[in-house]
Structure 1
Amino acid sequence: MPYRHAWLFIVTLICATIFAFWRTYFSILPEAAIGFHIHGLTASLWLLLLLAQSWTPHHGRIGMHRALGRVTFVAVPLFAAGSMAVIHSMAGGTVGGDPFYALWGARLGFIDTLALGALLYAAGMALRHRRNVRLHAGYMLSTALPLISPVFGRVFNRTIPGLIIHGPQDFPVFGLGAQCGNVLAAMIALWLWRRDPRFGRPWAVALGVIAAQIVGFETLAHSAGWNALFLTVGTQPLPVLMAFGALAGVVAVWLGWRLPEARGRPKQDA
């Protein structure tokens, strides 16, 4: 089976997430906006599902792996709804004059929007290639790469001298930490792509998305048009945005399940 030790990466990502968001979320749970809670729950569900799906086939639990696979049809729409919820909360903070989001809200919204699109595409393709072990596993695991930037960017902002944020006066250095996280994600995607080029398409797609995030963070995310659209999101009803995200998730998994797998490729490669 491919990616035998990938579950260790997921465990590392979960631990890094707790460390990265401890001060700004986990230690102040009662004060956090509802959108962050929804995103935290749905993203946690997705990471735990990836962990279980990565661990089970390498420990003789194929039946459990297949049973958990059915959770994908619920977890993807929930994740998409949660992503729209956190984008709504960031936009609301920007509209409300929060000093951090006034600087970075629109740019983080841009990254999160691309990340959501990448996850929906990868999850759908994982279902489409469910009989091709390497492609299926690659697409599923590639959904974790967009989480590297927001997680490890904040890890860098807590640990690396010159990037550490002690208070509002240091908010301007946040963007450099986020871009370092993007570069780390790009390096991992490139390594995995070159390691297995025959079945490296999932990582090539992920690398393209990350490259768009890196460039767009410094260009398009600055534009007046994107900022206007982002601020408009903050004024919309949260249930409507979450319903839109959930619907996008349903469409992604339905299309992935229904679309025929491309012919001429091996169904399995253990």
Structure 2
Amino acid sequence: MNNVISKINFDKAGYYVFGLGAIVLLGFWHGYISELIAGTSRHASLFHFHGVMMSLWIAMLIVQPILIRKKKFAAHRLIGKFSFVVMPLLVLSILQVMHYEGLLFPEEALTFLGVMNGSILMSTFYLIAIANRSRVAIHARAMVCTGITMIQPASDRVLFHLFKMEFPTIIFVSWAMIYALLIVLIVMERKEKAGRWVFPFYIFMHVLLVDSTLFNARIPGVDPAFGKWFLTLSLTTKPTVVVKDLPIPKNEIDRYPGEWGEYDAGQHNDKFTIHKHGDQLWGTRIENGKPDSTRLLYQGNGEFIPDKYKPFARLIFRMKDGKAEAFTFYYGAIGRSGQTKRRK
């Protein structure tokens, strides 16, 4: 076992991973965790599976260093063996999410890097860690990198929901935070003799696999054939949706009209207006400076499907005191935008 003592106390890493857990809670509170607690979630079961696998991995990243610190080596090894099951299932859950979204949005051609970047990052650094179980300096750093891979999905949502940022600013800020963290780690351990290459290698892999997706990078000879092949796999199935066009009850139709969305002067304006035309409801939003309107087809129980975006887009409203106060916009069984609240 490597006896070099790192200036970074990796046996305390478990305590720092609580910070990752906090970011995940904040990021996924809107549109997922809050709806689970309220019992209103409409997410497909594969998203719950993905959430469980991610939660298990975060829990393991917290517990394992603490066990080492407390010299509970037998328990550490036992949980390490459990990772042989958790990591493959975690990677499978990532691929299922990508597959499901690919089925919902066939017009957005899938690329190899777009689908595989997260799975490759997680798998690569997990395998590095497992291959170097007896070399603590490498093993610990590689496991830390699996946790770093989980930052962006959560930080993107935090920046969107709490700070009202928009794409691509969200992406750049998340990347800046990740690279800043890695640079700090590299500087802190610049005099180490073992394992010092792991964090620079992660930066290289991130640039190669993740940053390139911003430009929709395609690999000659692989794309777009890979995306078409990927969607033929039996990882998930496209949800079957029955689109209804029910009459809106007269005592209910006035609950929905108004302006919806959040507004922050000069930064964020996603106003969505619902208005009544006779016994129908229509929704209008501004896209590229032009109004985009569609009729809202009533499905019952406070649910509507926009006619232009049927069958997979739907608005599910939350009521308070007999009036709609918020809605979640779903694509298929994905809550994509969190809860949108009434302006007036």
TM-score by length of 2: 0.57
Q: Which residue number in structure 2 is paired with residue 151 of structure 1?
A: 154
Q: Does 1:33 align with 2:38?
A: no
Q: Which residue number in structure 2 is paired with residue 18 of structure 1?
A: 25
Q: Which residue number in structure 2 is paired with residue 200 of structure 1?
A: 196
Instruction: Give the direction of change, closer, same or farther, for the CA distance of 1:190–1:4 in structure 2 (3 Å limit).
Output: same
Instruction: Give the direction of change, closer, same or farther, for the CA distance of 1:220–1:80 in structure 2 (3 Å limit).
Output: same
In structure 1, C-alpha distance between the alignment counterparts of 2:157 and 2:110, rounded to whole Å: 17
In structure 2, C-alpha distance between the alignment counterparts of 1:65 and 1:34, rounded to whole Å: 31
Instruction: Give the direction of change, closer, same or farther, for the CA distance of 1:17–1:230 in structure 2 (3 Å limit).
Output: farther
Q: Does 1:138 align with 2:141?
A: yes
Q: Which residue number in structure 2 is paired with residue 210 of structure 1?
A: 206
Q: Which moved further from structure 2: 33-42 or 130-139?
A: 33-42
Q: Does 1:44 align with 2:50?
A: no
TM-score by length of 1: 0.72
* Percentage of pairs with the same residue: 19
Per-residue CA deviation, residues 183-233 of structure 1 (Å, 9 max, x unaligned), is 211221222223224322221221112222453122234899756744653
For these two proteins, the number of residue pairs brought into alignment is 222
Instruction: Give the direction of change, closer, same or farther, for the CA distance of 1:28–1:228 in structure 2 (3 Å limit).
Output: farther
Which one of the candidate residues 111, 114, 118 is aligned to 1:115?
A: 118
Matched ranges for 1:53-132 at <5 A: 53-95=64-106, 110=113, 113-132=116-135
The 8 Å contact of residues 182 and 214 in structure 1, kept in 2 or not, is answered as: no
Instruction: Give the direction of change, closer, same or farther, for the CA distance of 1:39–1:219 in structure 2 (3 Å limit).
Output: same
Q: Which runs of 5+ in 2 are unaligned?
A: 238-344
In structure 2, C-alpha distance between the alignment counterparts of 1:231 and 1:24, rounded to whole Å: 29
Q: Does 1:174 align with 2:167?
A: yes
RMSD: 2.8
Indicate the SS of the match to 1:208: helix
Amino acid at match of 2:93: G
Per-residue CA deviation, residues 93-115 of structure 1 (Å, 9 max, x unaligned), is 323x8xxxx6xx958x8456212
More contact order relative to length (CA 8 Å, sep ≥ 6)? 1
Give 1:142 deviation, angstroms.
0.9
Amino acid at match of 2:64: Q
Q: Which residue number in structure 2 is paired with residue 187 of structure 1?
A: 180
Q: Which has the larger radius of gyration?
A: 2
Q: Which runs of 5+ in 1 are unaligned?
A: 164-172, 241-270
In structure 2, C-alpha distance between the alignment counterparts of 1:231 and 1:178, rounded to whole Å: 26
Instruction: Give the direction of change, closer, same or farther, for the CA distance of 1:111–1:188 in structure 2 (3 Å limit).
Output: farther
Give 1:146 deviation, angstroms.
1.3
Between Structure 1 and Structure 2, the one with more helix by share is: 1
Give 1:138 deviation, angstroms.
0.7
* Runs of 4+ residues deviating >3 angstroms: 109-112, 220-236
